[in-house]
Amino acid sequence: MTLVAASIVVAALAASWVIAPIVVRRLALLGDPIPGGVLDAEARKRVALASLKEIEYDRIGGKLDDADYQTLRARLEHEALIALRLAEGAHRSADQFEITHSCGFVNPGGSRFCSGCGKRLG
Ligand SMILES: [Zn+2]
């Protein structure tokens, strides 16, 4: 009986050892770790630029005629410009954001640890 109980305990420990990194990583991916929404702005910028490239390929491949291409390109260029400005603003606000630790050291935005004393920033 104790052998069965020991086996169950070992199996549970092995399963938690395998699953723990997956759960911890998923929790770590929630939210934007950098202040100012940099990740969201970067994602919008990349999608906008990829969309422009995609319609270029579609036109070359014959999937889009010139009229549709011009219409789509004008709209996507407008969206890409907005996304680029948002990303630039997000980077700027994240860079300007400073964290003053209790030790008195002023750390740049996005820092996880204090550069003055090495402690985790909260
Ligand atoms: Zn400190």
The residue type found at 36 is G
pLDDT band at 72 (very low <50, low <70, confident <90, very high): very high
Q: Residue 109 in contact with residue 94, Cβ under 8 Å?
A: yes
Q: Residue 45 in contact with residue 66, Cβ under 8 Å?
A: no
Distance 95 CA to ligand 1 centre (A): 19
- CA distances for 89 relative to 48, 50, 60, angstroms: 16, 20, 34
In a domain? residue 7? yes
Distance 103 CA to ligand 1 centre (A): 4
Residue 37's CB: how many other CB atoms inside 10 A?
A: 17
Residue range(s) defining the domain that contains residue 7:
1-30
Q: Is the pLDDT of residue 81 over 90?
A: no
Distance 106 CA to ligand 1 centre (A): 8
Q: What is the pTM of this model?
A: 0.47
In a domain? residue 64? no
| Domain count along the chain | 1
Q: What is the mean pLDDT of residues 27-41?
A: 59
Q: Is the pLDDT of residue 30 over 60?
A: no
Distance 96 CA to ligand 1 centre (A): 19
- Calculate the average pLDDT of the chain: 82
In a domain? residue 103? no
